[in-house]
Structure 1
Amino acid sequence: MPIVVQALKRVLLPIAALLAVMIGLGVLLTRAATHLWPLTVEDGVNRYLAGHRTETLSDASHLASGLADTPRIIAVTAVAALVLALTLRRVREPLFLCLAVTAQALVFYLTTVAIDRPRPDVPRMDESPPTSSFPSGHTSAAVALYLGLAVLLAALVRRTWLKALCWALVLVPAGVALARMYRGMHHPSDVAAAFVNGGTCVYVMSRAILDRHVPWRLATPAREVDSRTAQV
């Protein structure tokens, strides 16, 4: 199958479908389902977190939220991809990680363009970026990066305890999600949708890039194959 068709079938179409789902969820959350449970109670979650802030928790949330700042996500992704490429001497793993992070960012940005959701009505501890509250960009990026790393590293190690340690990386996006809600930057449904975005991008790219049965190479022209066969 030509590489362009492979890319369309295994990457572009699934990511386009994800974008449609994310926008649909955004429309549902901001219009049709605003008066339905559990959306009717999620503002109470934000108010509870804002009302129980402490200096220690605020410092911890600052550190957790900072793990998913855009410059840090880009830096960690680039360094991890470089280390993977130099260590494994192949491109599938670093390409998978870079594409997963890039895809979630694209879906996130286009969703925020289509969906205009206000931030929670609580005192915010960070400056509000110009993008919509839906979905959480920090959480989505953290899911794509650290879940992607967990998938790669768990597949490379053999010992059970090392695999468990690798999968512990998924605690990072969970901490980021809690931090973003604690700091008044996102509704619970914003971070839930971010897990859908980041997790789906990891799944799509793992199926497309890491699957050894998917040959990502240019198809050899039939005439060239025939000429080689004739020479033999």
Structure 2
Amino acid sequence: MSDVAVRVVKRVLFPVALLFGVMVGLGLLITKVMAHVWPFTVEDSVNRELERDRTAEGNAVSLVFSTLANTPVIIAVTALAALVLRLTLKRWREPIFLCVAVTAQALVFFLTTLVIDRTRPAVDHLDASPPTSSFPSGHTSAAVALYLGLAVLLVRLTNRTGLKALCWLLVLVPVCVAVARMYRGMHHPTDVLASFLNGGTCVAVTARAFLDEGVRRVRRAIGSRRLAHS
């Protein structure tokens, strides 16, 4: 096995497999072990309160943010961003990071739904229910991986403090997606909270595997050049 393959297995596959185990454990804890223990017993009341507070304007805004995390949109934005990064930076590190982060969260999400069969909240659903389990939220996981991943990349690529702050505003997108999914009756609060763990961990794992290694290579190259000229 090549050094690259070994690094990918150690830094991506193993951590993602561990994450899958954690997600399943959380799902079993929430739906089986502690389903009748506070604070999990108040989840339904949160969904009912959101249902009572619905308005025409809120329905429209929540639809926008929910659509931002639909699978076709996530795939299209990821592919477009990866293409722009490749053409702009002339290297593969950043595009691969983004694509792997989004793909990893999707894999963990899908496998977790096969194990955890949680019904959706007992409120009126504003969207058609996908065949997958309510736990975790695929929309939220995908939004975290994509928009947090983009924020991480853009912050690394700019040296201006003001621009860095603007880049971090992308993190608000998955937050709005999470609220929208609960508002529209599609997920319990713990579904979206677990999705932040899924998406955020996948971003952290892939950043360490692809971006941090690149930074270390650049630093080693700079150090070698300084030694050569000293």
TM-score of the pair, normalised by structure 1: 0.91
Residues 115 and 134 in structure 1, CA contact (< 8 A), matched pair in contact too: yes
Give the paired residue count: 216
Query: How far has the Cα of 1:4 moved from its partner?
Result: 2.3
Letter of the structure 1 residue corresponding to residue 31 of structure 2: T
Counterparts of 2:46 and 2:61, CA distance in 1: 19
Counterparts of 2:207 and 2:4, CA distance in 1: 17
Larger radius of gyration between Structure 1 and Structure 2: 1
1:20 aligns with 2:28: no
Aligned to 1:223: none
Residues 144 and 174 in structure 2, CA contact (< 8 A), matched pair in contact too: yes
Aligned to 2:225: none
Deviation string, structure 1 residues 65-103 (Cα, Å, up to 9, x no partner): 000000000000000000000000010000000000000
Which residues in structure 2 correspond to 1:3-82 (within 5 Å)?
3-82=4-83
Aligned to 1:168: 169
Residues 136 and 195 in structure 2, CA contact (< 8 A), matched pair in contact too: yes
Deviation string, structure 1 residues 23-60 (Cα, Å, up to 9, x no partner): 01111111001011211111111000001100000000
Counterparts of 1:100 and 1:91, CA distance in 2: 14
Consecutive unaligned residues of structure 2, counting only runs of 5 or more, are: 218-230
Query: How far has the Cα of 1:212 moved from its partner?
Result: 2.8
Counterparts of 1:165 and 1:3, CA distance in 2: 34
Consecutive unaligned residues of structure 1, counting only runs of 5 or more, are: 217-232
Counterparts of 1:8 and 1:95, CA distance in 2: 15
TM-score of the pair, normalised by structure 2: 0.92
Q: Secondary structure at the match of 2:194?
A: helix
Counterparts of 1:190 and 1:56, CA distance in 2: 24
Q: Secondary structure at the match of 2:129?
A: coil
1:180 aligns with 2:207: no
Counterparts of 2:65 and 2:215, CA distance in 1: 37
Which residues in structure 2 correspond to 1:69-148 (within 5 Å)?
69-148=70-149
Q: Which moved more, 1:126-135 or 1:206-215?
A: 206-215
Distance 1:64 1:80, change over 3 A: same
Letter of the structure 2 residue corresponding to residue 186 of structure 1: H
Letter of the structure 2 residue corresponding to residue 70 of structure 1: T
Percent identity between the two aligned chains: 66
Structure 1 ranges of 4+ moved more than 3 A: 213-216
Counterparts of 1:3 and 1:163, CA distance in 2: 31
Letter of the structure 1 residue corresponding to residue 46 of structure 2: V
Deviation string, structure 1 residues 106-136 (Cα, Å, up to 9, x no partner): 0000000011000000000000000000000
Residues 208 and 214 in structure 1, CA contact (< 8 A), matched pair in contact too: no
Deviation string, structure 1 residues 120-163 (Cα, Å, up to 9, x no partner): 00000000000000000000000000000000001111111100
Q: CA RMSD in A?
A: 1.4
Distance 1:164 1:215, change over 3 A: closer
Residues 94 and 211 in structure 2, CA contact (< 8 A), matched pair in contact too: yes
Query: How far has the Cα of 1:213 moved from its partner?
Result: 5.8
Letter of the structure 1 residue corresponding to residue 24 of structure 2: I
Counterparts of 1:66 and 1:59, CA distance in 2: 11
Counterparts of 1:7 and 1:154, CA distance in 2: 24
Counterparts of 2:118 and 2:173, CA distance in 1: 25
